Amino acid sequence: MLERGEGSEYGTRRARPSEGRNRSKARDWPAARSVDYHEPGLDPPWVPLRDEELLRYRVRDLAVRIEGSELEPRVARLYTELEARGLRLRPPCYLGDEWFSPDGVPAIAIPFYLAHGRLKQLELHQMMEVEGGTPEWCAQLLRHECGHAFDHAYRFSSRRKWRAIFGSPDVDYEPETYRPRPYSKGFVRHLPNWYAQAHPDEDFAETFAVWLASPAEEWRERYRAWKALEKLEYVDELMREASKKPPLVRGGRRRADASKMRSTLARYYAARRKLWAQDQPGFYDADLRRIFAEAPAGHGTAAAFMRRKREAIVGVVVRWTGQRKYVVDDLARKLVERCAQLSLHAPTDEVALALDVGAYLASLVTNHLHTGRFKRSV
Ligand SMILES: [Zn+2]
């Protein structure tokens, strides 16, 4: 969901708005290659492959496209929403390596794995969740990216009033490590994790998304007496203006275009999973020794307990922290491993132990979200 500047093929995770403005002309989708398996009823040759085989494929060789996929009606729905609000600009969508709007370009990148059920399945196996995989989730993300695209098209964020309302877009762009205030009424709520608080650009995109998703009387009612209402009214004012005039920027280079990505799926996933580097051995030892027992207590080993409860504990932590499931699960796996290395044991009270481990994991995740040790990737 980031706006993104130049990065590796599968993407850097942060961008600074000042990076990588570019001016070249882009094509509009559908820009699909004519591959015969796009004929109705024909599956791509990689569909029956096992994961290990599929991972050897280069992304561009998958030859997936929006047209004919389940994304096509979802993009069409976005365009219908824009039309209903009187807007004429239809930001072109293309398949990229993740959700983003290229910096300075009025376009929307949708992750390529959403263009085919088999790739969504692989994504689920690799990352444990599929961001934007359901119609409603996809619609939310499309509206959010569309907000960035409109800002890029009309350069609204360069205006003094925009900056007075949302803040300077030139502040450091670190949406993975922002420190949200859950009760703030200064921000709309659309994507999870109070994402509007991540950066002024995200605040604008989220406000736009709320504006687009519901009629004015609805958001005026929902945000009555909220400071965020001022932002919604300003977006309303800007979009009235946009409905009457052509965009200042029309094209630009489409970064991380899936049809050009030479990396294999294996490399792509390896890069995405390597999101947090901190991994000093012994980092968790003192805490684990406090939670578990050093001597056998008749309830088996700590590692066995963790293996048994991992799924349930991870589920609860994900639910309340909003952190990525694979990230929490990776951390839980590390703790299991460390428990085994330290030969720790489970104390008697299993309920208290599960609570302890859950609270510990949640505190690690939340603390890391704030300190940046434990990157959130959205
Ligand atoms: Zn965003």
- 336 alpha carbon – ligand 1 mean position (Å): 35
- 135 alpha carbon – ligand 1 mean position (Å): 19
What does the pLDDT look like over 213-246, one tens digit per residue?
Answer: 999 999 999 999 999 999 999 999 999 999 999 9
- 335 alpha carbon – ligand 1 mean position (Å): 32
In the block, tokens 């709309």 appear at: 188
**Confidence label for 369 from pLDDT (cuts 50, 70 and 90):** low
- 194 alpha carbon – ligand 1 mean position (Å): 12
Helical spans, DSSP H, in the chain? 51-54, 71-84, 117-127, 135-154, 160-166, 200-213, 216-222, 228-242, 265-273, 285-291, 302-321, 325-341, 350-371
- 198 alpha carbon – ligand 1 mean position (Å): 9
- 144 alpha carbon – ligand 1 mean position (Å): 6
Share of the chain above pLDDT 90, in %: 60
- 178 alpha carbon – ligand 1 mean position (Å): 13
- 334 alpha carbon – ligand 1 mean position (Å): 31
Q: Which tops the pLDDT comparison, 245 or 322?
A: 245
Question: Phi then psi for 332, rounded to 5 degrees?
Answer: -60, -40
- 88 alpha carbon – ligand 1 mean position (Å): 22
Side chain identity at residue 375, one-letter code: K
- 145 alpha carbon – ligand 1 mean position (Å): 6
Helical spans, DSSP H, in 251-301? 265-273, 285-291
In the predicted structure, residue 21 carries a pLDDT above the cut 80: no
pLDDT of residue 40: 60
What CA–CA distances, in Å, run from 333 to 70, 127, 244? 34, 14, 55
In the predicted structure, residue 375 carries a pLDDT above the cut 90: no
- 201 alpha carbon – ligand 1 mean position (Å): 7
Give whichever of 136-150, 174-188, 338-352 has the largest mean pLDDT: 136-150
Is-contact 308 332, C-beta < 8 A? no
- 173 alpha carbon – ligand 1 mean position (Å): 11
pLDDT of residue 48: 96
- Return the domain boundaries, the chain: 2-266, 276-371
- 356 alpha carbon – ligand 1 mean position (Å): 35
- 235 alpha carbon – ligand 1 mean position (Å): 16
- 160 alpha carbon – ligand 1 mean position (Å): 21
What does the pLDDT look like over 252-261, one tens digit per residue?
Answer: 999 999 999 9
Q: Which tops the pLDDT comparison, 42 or 104?
A: 104
Share of the chain above pLDDT 70, in %: 81
pLDDT of residue 28: 37
- 90 alpha carbon – ligand 1 mean position (Å): 18
Question: Phi then psi for 4, rounded to 5 degrees?
Answer: -135, 140
**Confidence label for 52 from pLDDT (cuts 50, 70 and 90):** very high
- 188 alpha carbon – ligand 1 mean position (Å): 14
- 210 alpha carbon – ligand 1 mean position (Å): 13
pLDDT of residue 304: 94
- 252 alpha carbon – ligand 1 mean position (Å): 18
Write out the two tokens for 146.
Answer: 């569309």
Question: What average pLDDT does the segment 97-122 reach?
Answer: 96
pLDDT of residue 66: 97
What does the pLDDT look like over 156-191, one tens digit per residue?
Answer: 999 999 999 999 888 776 655 666 677 789 999 988
pLDDT of residue 54: 98
What does the pLDDT look like over 261-308, one tens digit per residue?
Answer: 999 999 999 888 765 434 455 678 888 999 999 999 888 999 999 999
- 100 alpha carbon – ligand 1 mean position (Å): 6
What CA–CA distances, in Å, run from 132 to 142, 152, 251? 9, 22, 25
- 263 alpha carbon – ligand 1 mean position (Å): 25
Side chain identity at residue 370, one-letter code: H
Q: Which tops the pLDDT comparison, 332 or 139?
A: 139
